[in-house]
Structure 1
Amino acid sequence: MKNIRNTTILFTLMLVLTSCEKYLEEDLRDQIAVENFFNNDQEALLATNGLYRILLRGNMYGTRGIDNYYVNGADEVGPSRNVNGQIHNYLIQEGVADGNAIWSSCYEIVRNASLNISNIEGNENISEDIRNQTLGESYFLRALAYFHLTNLWGDVPYYRELLPLEELGSLGRFSKDEIRSDMKADLSLAFELLPSEPDLGRASKWAAAALKAKFHLFDSEWAEAKAECDEIIDNSPHRLLENFADVFDQTDRADQYNDEQIFVVDFTTEGIFNDAGTRRTDDYNPRLRDEPSNRNNRPGGPGTPQRWQLLRDTLQTLNQDMSGFGWAVPLPEIADRNNWDPDDLRYDATIVTEYAGFELQFPYYRKNWNLNNTSPRADHHENYVMFRLADIYLMAAEAENELNGPNGAYPYVNKVRERAFEPDKPWGGMTQESFRTAMYDERKYELCTEGYRKMDLIRWGILLETVKSTEHRPWNNPGDNIQPYHVLLPIPQDELILNPNLLTSDPSNNGYRGG
């Protein structure tokens, strides 16, 4: 089966399928001669690959799009200078950092996936294997789009079949619970349709199970969440790697995947799209103009090279460079080794404060940087790891604790901690409540910057207190600004202008209008 990055005749179709920026602006059925498409396996694959291509955008996973709202504004990441303050400092309003581009891209996925499903299902011109695969992928990616939409905005417009433009343009908001219930059912169907063996960059049945588990976890449906996690743990080909750092090592472009990764957004600098590389890595890579500490000092005395020149020369010998933006650096508390268990091996694989013999001015996330010159600025090849097995184990542990207390939950969390500690430090002797609160930090240290911390804090009901009690740098003050309604975004201003019915069920717009 062809990998996404090897499908070389995809571009023309995708220009059609992904040309509109706002989901209400155009009726795709006016642009696509559907009766002349979906006639064979290749065309079904092309249409489905177009859904994956939307994930590559900067407003999704290509840079800080999704990360702006899932990673920033919590207790993990902050900017190294006075940038991105609207989001990090909770200065969001209608029309100001309201996520409009993410909204548009997610609804583009919804529309195109719905188009695929209606034309692939029962289509005898497509072989059964490809029909099942592309249907399963379309169900999965549509559910992923609604996952983001309901996480970020709660109740949102909802449809499963393409509607006339006038009807689409007047849709009100539907209950988040109704949407998510349908998506869970769709993911059950996707699980049956998708292949078991992962194809690089494509969704497998285990990706569908992982997303369904996320839906259940976020909705506190503990039994269902645990069942999905157990299905993956017991029956999937995925395994925990022995070394934590290896999970994130993508320096070898020929070996970017590993057995722990369940689903990734596949980036490549060798694809046929201009946006095939990611810029997200640049947020985590240092910029040499900031580094190292005491950068203008001359260790050899007057007339000798400055410390930044020595670092630059050292990097050159390693075929490396610090050419990033340095926006996404660890906040002071998580960067401080004293706030981690002294035997936690994940710290050195996650945080870096010294490199190549030079003390750095800022800490950085080692797990997310790539200094190799083979990973060039603004066109990196690193994949975005969306689901991995360690997260599944921790989700299972949390669900089991909520269902039955900690005794049955220990084996799940301790499986993850076996790799994390030397000597081993398994959990035991906890109450249900102490296990629950200990999981707050366990997920933080295992999964930081992987796109779930802020949503975890929201579903635990502790986002506000966490932001207010976390140390931030002098140019940031999120604790002064955050309000209870910041657990959701306002419906984007551009969408309200197009469709005032979006305010019918909630004139306050998720609290941003004070109603």
Structure 2
Amino acid sequence: MNTKSIMSILQVCLLLFIFTSCEGILKERGTDFINNDQFYKNKEQCIAGANGCYRFLNNIFGSDLIISTEGITDVVYYPHGTSIDATFSISPANPGAGQYLWNSCYEGIRVCNAVIAGIKASPVDEEIKPGILGEASFLRALYYYILTCTYGDVPFYLDDVKSLEVLEKVSKLPRMDAHATRLALIDDLELYADAMHVRKPEENYSRITAQAAYMLIAKLAMWEQDYEKAMEYLQKIRTIYGNLNQYPLEDTRFRDKNKPESIFEVQFAWSQSGIKKTTSVACFFTPSKQSGTDIYDGVSIPELGSGASPWTSVRPLKHLLDLYENVKDDLGSSTEGVDPRRDIILGYGYNGKYFNAPTNGQKPWMGPKFWCPNMDNAADGNNQKMFRFADALLMMAECANELNNPTLALSCLKEVRERAKYVRFFTDTNKEAIAQEIKDERARELTGEYQRKWDLVRWGIYYDALKETICKEFEPAEKNLRPYHQYYPIPDTEVIRSGGILTNDAYNNK
């Protein structure tokens, strides 16, 4: 293939779909801005370029990612005996969700690099650029964040692939140390974060904000154990949001879109006559259903309708059930009442009627947090939540504890529990005890929000935690789980494409 042909392919690959914000969702509008030299001539074109960077989110945040980050952890499992992801049967030759995640993230990075280069070279007023660059830089950093959380060390580049020379360069990049990648991303995000739009709690806003950038900086910094850096940006979020008590707990359901507590969620929508941008996450988190009816495991749920077709459902592990029910206070006494978050994340019944499963002594289903009203077959139009203020408070608690400030750590924990009207208050100032309580509280509050596995890996407890939980209840996990499963392998197709520069030593040396 000659250079001219390759460049033509590159140009076609740079064709982006444009999204415009309308009534809280991003809607598609086709346009063509293949050549950076011919585009980015005004503010509107720069915004259009940044809009194009969003489109890969819908490919990434779906059932495969939520199964790999939430459905095979210490709190939830996916009891599907033939799923290679759920049974820890992945390999470089058969990487499961690892293939599409790799492809989608790097496609997003390539487009973000091109858009950022175009905006930087634009004749647009320099005062306008930082806010727009911030959105594109956040998305590029998010794609890299997902890659480093999923694979560990990965190839890293910020080049605009606009020539054969650059293409050849990036196609031969080896794995880069994930620590160096995260530090580079923090530096880049800090250039633009303060220039981005700050969403007011009462504002219905679906685009990326300064709060989202602050949150991602803090996430990256905590991976690097730079708790002071993380605390700096988490404090900014707290200043914007105030007290958690003002935000209803019910708004944590996926169907409740862009509510005031939200910091970042991926936009989905479904309607019979309008936008069809869907995922199938709810299919994996809904009780079994009687075909052609609105009867779900013996209970009528009119709000879910009769058109849904749930698949094999994710189920909670005993560890998660215990976190909600078998609770002790600091003196070892049982507390009264049940954590109200339990009946949002877990499904024991509906409208006062119990499902058949828990009535018969079986585990509950996953709860209304994940259900999608009037789901059409497998089409789920819920937004997918990733960052919200409660998460930021629990991150603050963790950072404060690591920085030997138990008073602040306990204050943040208390604020999260007070919003949930949870009667138990934790007052132990022992650092290890607080750390464990934060780990448990993140499960109680955030299960299902694309974070649990990455938290376990970041804490360095992934393998041990799974051996004590999922491996005791799901035989394929006990049989197949290995320490190297904390990360996915780079797909063999990518290893071959790199000419063997990319490797999977942990998997190949098993």
Question: What TM-score do the two structures reach when normalised by structure 2?
Answer: 0.83
1-structure distance, mates of 2:369, 2:143? 24
The answer for the alignment partner of 1:268 in structure 2 is: 269
The answer for the alignment partner of 2:347 in structure 1 is: 352
The answer for the alignment partner of 2:94 in structure 1 is: 96
Q: Identity of counterpart residues, as a percentage?
A: 27
Letter in 1 for 2:29: L
Kept after mapping to 1: 8 A contact 2:151/2:489: yes
| Structure 1 unaligned regions, length at least 5 | 17-31, 293-306
**Structure 2 residue 326 is the aligned partner of structure 1 residue 330:** no
| Structure 2 unaligned regions, length at least 5 | 1-18, 328-334, 358-362
209 and 242 in structure 1: CA distance in 2 versus 1, 3 angstrom threshold: closer
State the secondary structure of the residue aligned to 2:269. coil
The answer for the alignment partner of 1:490 in structure 2 is: 489
The answer for the alignment partner of 1:295 in structure 2 is: none
Aligned Cα RMSD in Å? 3.1
Letter in 2 for 1:406: P
1:195-234 matches, within 5 Å, as 195-197=197-199, 200-234=205-239
State the secondary structure of the residue aligned to 1:262. strand
Once the two structures are TM-superposed, the CA of residue 502 in structure 1 deviates from its matched residue by: 3.0
The answer for the alignment partner of 2:139 in structure 1 is: 141
The answer for the alignment partner of 1:187 in structure 2 is: 189
2-structure distance, mates of 1:378, 1:44? 36
Report which stretch shifted further, 260-269 or 414-423.
414-423
State the secondary structure of the residue aligned to 1:427. coil
The answer for the alignment partner of 1:66 in structure 2 is: 65
The answer for the alignment partner of 1:174 in structure 2 is: 176
The answer for the alignment partner of 1:247 in structure 2 is: 252
142 and 272 in structure 1: CA distance in 2 versus 1, 3 angstrom threshold: farther
The answer for the alignment partner of 2:371 in structure 1 is: 370
Once the two structures are TM-superposed, the CA of residue 412 in structure 1 deviates from its matched residue by: 1.0
Letter in 2 for 1:491: I
The answer for the alignment partner of 2:16 in structure 1 is: none
2-structure distance, mates of 1:180, 1:127? 27
Once the two structures are TM-superposed, the CA of residue 370 in structure 1 deviates from its matched residue by: 2.7
Kept after mapping to 2: 8 A contact 1:238/1:262: no
271 and 389 in structure 1: CA distance in 2 versus 1, 3 angstrom threshold: farther
1-structure distance, mates of 2:80, 2:67? 16
The answer for the alignment partner of 2:9 in structure 1 is: none
The answer for the alignment partner of 1:404 in structure 2 is: 404
Letter in 2 for 1:466: A
2-structure distance, mates of 1:430, 1:280? 39
State the secondary structure of the residue aligned to 1:160. coil
Report which stretch shifted further, 150-159 or 161-170.
161-170
Once the two structures are TM-superposed, the CA of residue 268 in structure 1 deviates from its matched residue by: 1.3
The answer for the alignment partner of 1:42 in structure 2 is: 44
CA shift digits 1:336-365 (9 cap, x unpaired) = 664456431211122112235242336222
510 and 459 in structure 1: CA distance in 2 versus 1, 3 angstrom threshold: farther
Letter in 1 for 2:100: A
Once the two structures are TM-superposed, the CA of residue 418 in structure 1 deviates from its matched residue by: 0.8
State the secondary structure of the residue aligned to 2:108. helix
The answer for the alignment partner of 2:384 in structure 1 is: 384
Once the two structures are TM-superposed, the CA of residue 392 in structure 1 deviates from its matched residue by: 0.4
State the secondary structure of the residue aligned to 2:439. helix
80 and 155 in structure 1: CA distance in 2 versus 1, 3 angstrom threshold: closer
The answer for the alignment partner of 1:29 in structure 2 is: none
2 and 166 in structure 1: CA distance in 2 versus 1, 3 angstrom threshold: closer
Kept after mapping to 2: 8 A contact 1:240/1:390: no
Once the two structures are TM-superposed, the CA of residue 366 in structure 1 deviates from its matched residue by: 1.7
1-structure distance, mates of 2:303, 2:237? 44
The answer for the alignment partner of 1:429 in structure 2 is: 428
State the secondary structure of the residue aligned to 1:264. strand
The answer for the alignment partner of 1:478 in structure 2 is: 477
1-structure distance, mates of 2:140, 2:154? 14
Letter in 2 for 1:330: P
2-structure distance, mates of 1:73, 1:245? 25
CA shift digits 1:13-68 (9 cap, x unpaired) = 4xx8xxxxxxxxxxxxxxx22222222333222222222111011xx11x223223
Kept after mapping to 2: 8 A contact 1:41/1:127: no
1-structure distance, mates of 2:123, 2:245? 40
Kept after mapping to 1: 8 A contact 2:325/2:338: no
CA shift digits 1:96-142 (9 cap, x unpaired) = 1350111111111111111111111252247854x333211111000
Kept after mapping to 1: 8 A contact 2:287/2:366: no
2-structure distance, mates of 1:310, 1:173? 47
CA shift digits 1:159-205 (9 cap, x unpaired) = 11124221122111212121111100111123123111266221101
State the secondary structure of the residue aligned to 2:391. helix
CA shift digits 1:478-498 (9 cap, x unpaired) = 133221211111111110111
**Structure 2 residue 507 is the aligned partner of structure 1 residue 512:** yes
The answer for the alignment partner of 1:11 in structure 2 is: 30
2-structure distance, mates of 1:52, 1:272? 23
Letter in 2 for 1:277: T
Question: What TM-score do the two structures reach when normalised by structure 1?
Answer: 0.82
The answer for the alignment partner of 2:158 in structure 1 is: 160
The answer for the alignment partner of 2:287 in structure 1 is: 286
52 and 157 in structure 1: CA distance in 2 versus 1, 3 angstrom threshold: same
